[in-house]
Amino acid sequence: SQINMPDSDQLQSMTSYIMTSGKIPNGTYIFTFELFSSTSENTCGGNRIDKIDRKVEIYEPTFLDLQSPGFNSIAEADQSPLFTTYPNFIWSTDMCSACDYGIRVSKYDPLTHDSPYAALNDISNLPSDQSIEFYEIGSNSSVFTYPATGSIDLEQETYYVWQIRRSYETTVGLKEDFSDIFIFKIGRSQNSSSSDLEFLKELIGEELFSQYFGPNGELNGFSLTGIQLNGDDAGVQDLESIITKIKEGNSDVKDVSVE
C-alpha cells in the first residue's frame, strides 16, 4: 500500500508541536528498521539483510467532563436533589481503550470545608478505605452506580462532591487526568414509596411516568408498595443495575402496560 509522506510544512508543524509539548501528535505512525551488511567503505552501504515495519497508533484523550449528578454550586444542587442513596454517576470522555478510571466521593459540609476541593480531599465515602485515593472502576466506563460494598453509605439531607480520575501509560510513564468537581445533594424521601417512584421514573422515562402518574394520569395519587423482578422483590442494586443498562444502551423498555 502507498505511504503518504508529510510535506515540508507538515514536518515543520510536527517538529514545532513536538518541541513545545514534548509529545508527538495523535495519529498512526509507521516505523521502519533496516539491517544492512557492512562494507569497508561504508558501514551501511552493503546489502540489505532484513527490514521490519511497525505501525503504532498514538492517541492521547483530550476531554473528561462530568454529566450527572451534580452542579458547580450548592445553590444549583439545592434546586435538584437526588432521592436515592445509590446514584448513577455519568461522565463523557473520548474513546480510550487503554485508559482506566477511578471515582472519589466525599461528604461536603459548607461549615467546615472552605471549598469543594477541600471536601473531596477530606474523608471519602468512596472509597471507604482511606489509604486509597480513588475507587477503581476499570476501563471503557462512562456510567457507574454507587456500590453497596467498599463504600460508606450516603445520607439524606447531605451534600457530596465527586470527581473522576483517568489514568493511562505513556512513553514517559503514567499520565493522570482529573475532571472538574461536582456537588450534589441527597434529599429526604417522604416514604419508601416515593423512592420507588423515583426508580420507576428512571426505568420507564419521565414522559411515560408523567403520562401515568401526572395530574391527569390514571395512576395519579397511587403509591407503590414495592417493585418485583421475575416474581421476587427487587432490591436497590437490582433496580440500579437495570437503570445502568438502559442508560448505557444495553437494554430497552419495550412496553409498559397497566393492569
Q: DSSP for 206-219, please give it.
A: HHHHHHHHSTTSTT
The label of the residue with cell 417512584 reads 197
Tens digit of each residue's pLDDT (9 = 90 or more) over 186-243: 987 654 445 566 677 777 777 787 788 777 788 877 766 667 778 777 666 677 777 7
pLDDT score recorded for residue 2: 47
Tens digit of each residue's pLDDT (9 = 90 or more) over 92-150: 998 887 889 999 999 999 999 999 999 999 999 999 999 999 999 988 788 999 988 89
Burial status of residue 99 (CB atoms within 10 A of its CB: 0-12, 13-18, 19 or more): buried
For the chain, what's the residue count? 259
Domains delineated in the chain: 8-58 (no CATH), 64-186 (2.60.40.10), 192-247 (no CATH)
What's at 181, amino acid-wise? I
pLDDT score recorded for residue 124: 97
Tens digit of each residue's pLDDT (9 = 90 or more) over 38-84: 665 555 556 778 889 888 777 778 899 999 999 999 999 988 888 88
Return the sign of the alpha-carbon dihedral for residues 68, 73, 76, 81.
positive
Contact 108, 186 (CB under 8 A): no
